[in-house]
Amino acid sequence: MSKKTSDKIIDHIKIHGPSTAKVLAELFALTTMGVRQHLQALEEEGILSFEDRKASRGRPTRYWGLTEKSYKLFPDRHDDLSSQLIDSVRVVFGDQGLDQLIDHREQASRRLYQEALSQATGLADKLAALARLRTQEGYVASVEEQDGVFWLLENHCPICAAASRCANFCRSELQLFQELFSELASVSREEHIIAGARRCAYKLVPLASHAPTQQDVR
């Protein structure tokens, strides 16, 4: 079995969600039988599992998705030690001390992001620059545009351990994004990994004076 093909399958499902053997076969120029061999091998490793969904006609359609075991294949900068440290900060310094820690992290991120975004022009370019930074940090980020509305999609959370212990880490990130784009778009979080979603999805609606033109969204 080609590891390279398996990696591509894993990356595609991570970014786009559960998929069928037919879609994957077409995407990677494989036969349906060939792609099923990859899927079954990944299932045996515990990386994939499947769900049969009822179709409007005929037999149910089988969708393949990632299991929790797949998380080890993606960047993860926070483990049990992170959770223990957060608990220790809360015990020793109280909630106020933890808030100061989060604020310090936010200020450092703000400086980094502001510098990178200052080199870009317009909402689309600035958002693309942010997505590149977030991907480097392990968030597997991408940008989509639908009917003039932009989406920052983060398909992995490298700070899940910390965010699970303290929701303010996530609240801080949303506030930071809102600040970064305050003059260009309104920002809201529509999907949240910590709340059980497959990914974090941030919706950016351009302000009237910054609505994209046809040239911007090409």
Helix (H) or strand (E) run with residue 32 in it: helix 32-44
DSSP string, 78-111: --HHHHHHHHHHHHHHHHHHHHHHHHHHHHHHHH
pLDDT (average), residues 166-187 = 86
| Backbone angles phi and psi of 25, in degrees to 5 | -65, -45
175 closest CA partner among 189, 161, 165: 189
Asked which of 71, 95, 121 is the last residue of a domain, the reply is 71
For the chain, percent helix, then strand, then coil, each to nearest 5? 55, 20, 30
Between 4-8, 92-96, 205-209, the lowest mean confidence (pLDDT) is in: 92-96
Mind listing the pLDDT tens digit for each residue in 65-122? Answer: 999 889 888 875 555 656 677 777 777 778 787 778 778 878 888 999 999 999 999 9
Between 30-34, 54-58, 98-102, 188-192, the lowest mean confidence (pLDDT) is in: 98-102
- Give the CATH number for residue 127: 3.30.1380
Range of the domain at 169: 80-210
Q: How far is CA 57 from CA 37, 60, 208, in A?
A: 26, 8, 44
Residue 66 and residue 89 share a domain: no
143: pLDDT confidence band, cut at 50, 70 and 90?
very high
131 closest CA partner among 167, 155, 159: 155
Domain count within the chain: 2
pLDDT (average), residues 121-133 = 96
Asked which of 71, 93, 123 is the last residue of a domain, the reply is 71
Residue 137 and residue 54 share a domain: no
Q: Is the pLDDT of residue 136 over 60?
A: yes
Q: What pLDDT does 1 receive?
A: 45
**Residue-wise over 177-212: b if at least 16 C-beta within 10 A, else e?**
bbebbeebbebebebbbeeeebbbbbbbebeeeeeb
- Kindly state whether residue 181 falls inside one of the protein's structural domains: yes
d(CA 101, CA 97): 6
205: pLDDT confidence band, cut at 50, 70 and 90?
very high
Q: Is the pLDDT of residue 41 over 50?
A: yes
Q: Is-contact 181 123, C-beta < 8 A?
A: yes
Asked which of 48, 71, 94 is the last residue of a domain, the reply is 71
Residue 190 and residue 144 share a domain: yes
Q: What pLDDT does 26 receive?
A: 95
| Backbone angles phi and psi of 77, in degrees to 5 | -95, -5
**Residue-wise over 66-97: b if at least 16 C-beta within 10 A, else e?**
beeebeeebebebeeebbeebeebbeeeeeee
181: pLDDT confidence band, cut at 50, 70 and 90?
very high
Residue 133 and residue 36 share a domain: no
Q: Is-contact 5 36, C-beta < 8 A?
A: no
- Give the CATH number for residue 10: 1.10.10.10
Mean pLDDT taken over the chain: 86
- Kindly state whether residue 185 falls inside one of the protein's structural domains: yes
